[in-house]
Chain A
């Protein structure tokens, strides 16, 4: 089935240009074009679209207003802004409504890849209602203590970016949101960032403050949810640190070391999403898992028809995190299902995750995808119970 994409821009020539440039994709995508928000909403009423790509500043209904309506009426539709406008206030307003932000002029390759990747994400999840729920997410709950700490830090008269980064990089939800903002072109940042420290520095104190204090892009988990997830933060943090050690030992280079840490931190973000958005199903899964006889992801498959790995990967993909991050999250249990078979972030996260579970006294070997490790030629001599 072709993916359906709707482009919205008040400049006809921009739409014509896009239509011509993306003509080569016509066998894969059905593309429609609207010159204003009203028209776009009319078109969306008629049929379901996988994605809306809209300009920001338009007379009448602007991009933010349009995406707000789309989020409400068609939550499963991926929302992307393609704008040449750099007014900070407008951009900040779009943060909660937009999955990804592309800045004009945007080269053809970036546009095509972004659209293609977001479309591909759809295939991770089959269930329409799950897609609706996840596509609506604009922030993920944080550990209350960390949330409090970060708010206090940005409120203090001598906020330190180093301390802010340190706090954020201990929290799964906050880290994920921040990576979304720096990896998309929201603030016209020249480079992507794979470490929180770099992300925080790129955004700068003023934007960080606005994001946290006015826009409240972070939120805290309530007590009930906390119990069943109590070890998620510990597990994620430990996995992140193990991943960093492995990447360092392997001499993967600073960028990949940072990425390994972040992927380790975020690999179980799907659990957080499920517990936050589908608490009842999550309890069902936990019960099934506790009754024994299956792995957690098998229980998830049984209840949801998908796993937390896929759910996490789906949202991170929508948020525009790098492909290798998304793969690492999606396939951290079974890397051999991924098409890539060279040693990379996915391999590191897979090993680190198994090792971390090993630390808790579980059998790490059960968690290892031996076929994958053999293919990489590193199956021999692994002793995962003694972590680096």
Chain B
């Protein structure tokens, strides 16, 4: 069957025989038919079942005429065609019928063959119409698709524009990020041409970028150690590795020497390709100066901590040396007094003159000045004064050697002597709580180390031991603990053991004691830096080790090993 063909027909005629006749004709021709003798009924049928393709209607009927029915169908069921049949052509103009929406008109008396032909025509028309509609739909469809494609295209354009903008701003961001990096940044192409020269480079080297850009780096008058840099640049590009150059000397804009830290890295384009090198650098002159001041001030701090104790250590002998000297002064006065009398006596004896009352007055003076006591005590006073002076000198000497002014390079150090000095300097820190015993290996060779930093470590150890003992016994108990310090050779190393019988280190904090700022001491009793600094001095600066063994309640032993020979600087 062709598209849009007529299958189902509604026949409307108020004359039932007529209706039946048409229906039987249609049925014979293979159509599925239904009949209605009343136009209102016909509309109801359509309302229930709008699957009809064709309505064949009489024109003159009760209730509603064929024109109105046709109009109604035309308006409400656009898929249904209507053929009007009537004998009363005079009352109804053909044009009215067509205008109402009918596709054709057939006169009565009805010629069934004509009806058949007309139905066939309508059928043909419907087929054409259906095909047209289909074609139209297809066109509409592709139109919609095109529109959609167009929209997508527009969207894509929009997206691309946005991406471009983002790319641009990202580029600008990177550029401004690069510009704000406070480091010297120099990009060099593979053939050594300067491609990038940032503001920091301009400022540090006082060379403008328009001058530097495009110049061969080896010919650019950068006031740094050119040979070293050029060599590093070629190493970096030939071996494709990044290099770090520490403390490169250069001339600062004020004409003074400064130091730069530089890194030279290849710029990797892809796995095999390098597009050039990037040099990053910082002027570390101020930092190095600051660091030096800091280590100086740490040294001063520890000396400051000791100062009160050392003052006490010096003040005590100074007190008795002074007192003894005052006594000697007075005693000399007394001796002078008696001596004058003795001189007079001698004169008289020589002259054989009578001694008169001289002997009595000598005896009275002897009594007054208590010569026996003076003669007995003068040697003691002198002896103790000399001891006092020795004591003061040894403290002052130790102090001087302890602080080692002016040595920040490694030198050969007599470790035993250095420890002895430190014990002396710190005496006031331990003498109220502990005795210090030493057991030194006298065959130790000089050890290559930083003397003042080494002393600092030993000082920290002694102070910690003293605190551990004070904590165990109580500072005012009068009971003393013992600190043992020993040195031994161990292959290429010197081993130093510092043990105390203090309260030991608890299990829970053993892993933390070398951490910076970890401290068990009360606020004000220590910076908490002692062991952290000691660890860094021994391990980092000397390539040694520092370990400990401890039993809570029984004591702690710190074991330090130091390589004897010269170690690579940090």
Contact = CB atoms under 8 A, between A and B. Distances in A.
A24 B370 CA distance: 11
A108 interface: yes
A105 interface: yes
Interface residues of B, number: 31
A65 B384 CA distance: 29
Given A61-B476, A86-B308, A87-B308, A24 B330 contact: yes
Interface string B477-521: 110100000000000000000000000000000000000000000
Contact of A86 (B312, B321, B330): B312
A53 to B, nearest CB: 12
A96 to B, nearest CB: 18
Interface stretch (A9-17, A192-200, A266-274, A378-386): A9-17
B327 A13 contact: no
Nearest to A11: B316
A343 interface: no
B266 interface: no
A116 B8 CA distance: 147
B152 interface: no
B432 A16 contact: no
B433 to A, nearest CB: 8
A45 interface: no
The size bracket of the interface on A is 20 to 34
Contacts of B528: none
A17 B330 CA distance: 13
B206 interface: no
B476 A62 contact: yes
A11 B320 contact: yes
Contact of B384 (A17, A60, A85, A104): A17
Contacts of A59: 431-433, 478, 480
Interface of A: 11, 13-14, 16-18, 20-21, 23-24, 57-62, 65, 83-87, 103-108
Given A20-B324, A21-B324, A106 B476 contact: no
A65 B476 CA distance: 9
B318 interface: yes
A18 B323 contact: yes
Q: Nearest 9 pairs between A and B by C-beta?
A: A84-B315, A60-B478, A17-B323, A17-B320, A20-B327, A21-B323, A105-B318, A104-B315, A105-B319
Given A17-B321, A20-B327, A107-B322, 9 more contacts: A17-B323, A17-B381, A18-B320, A20-B323, A20-B324, A59-B432, A84-B314, A85-B308, A85-B312
A84 B323 CA distance: 14
Contacts of A87: 308
Contacts of A105: 315, 318-319, 322
A350 B315 CA distance: 43
Given A20-B381, A65-B476, A108 B320 contact: no
Nearest to A65: B476
Nearest to B307: A86
Interface string B316-342: 111111111011001000000000000
Contacts of B377: 20
Contacts of A57: 312, 432
Contacts of B380: 16
Interface of B: 308, 311-312, 314-324, 326-327, 330, 373, 377, 380-381, 384, 387-388, 431-433, 476-478, 480
B233 to A, nearest CB: 57
A300 B538 CA distance: 74
B312 A13 contact: no
A125 B281 CA distance: 81
B387 to A, nearest CB: 7
A21 to B, nearest CB: 4
Most buried by B among A14, A17, A23: A17
Nearest to B387: A13
B432 A21 contact: no
A108 B323 contact: yes
B319 A104 contact: yes
12 contacts: A16-B324, A17-B322, A20-B326, A21-B324, A21-B326, A59-B432, A59-B433, A60-B476, A61-B478, A85-B308, A108-B322, A108-B323
Nearest to A20: B327
Contacts of B373: 23
Contacts of B433: 59
A106 B326 CA distance: 12
Nearest to B388: A13
Contacts of A58: 432
Contact of A14 (B319, B432, B480): B319
A16 B380 CA distance: 9
A85 B478 CA distance: 18
A59 to B, nearest CB: 5
A87 B524 CA distance: 12
B374 to A, nearest CB: 9
A105 B431 CA distance: 20
A86 B314 CA distance: 12
Nearest to A55: B316
Contacts of A23: 327, 330, 373
A58 B476 CA distance: 9
Contact of A13 (B308, B320, B480): B320
A226 to B, nearest CB: 39
Given A65-B476, A104-B319, A17 B324 contact: yes
Nearest to B433: A59
Contacts of B308: 85-87
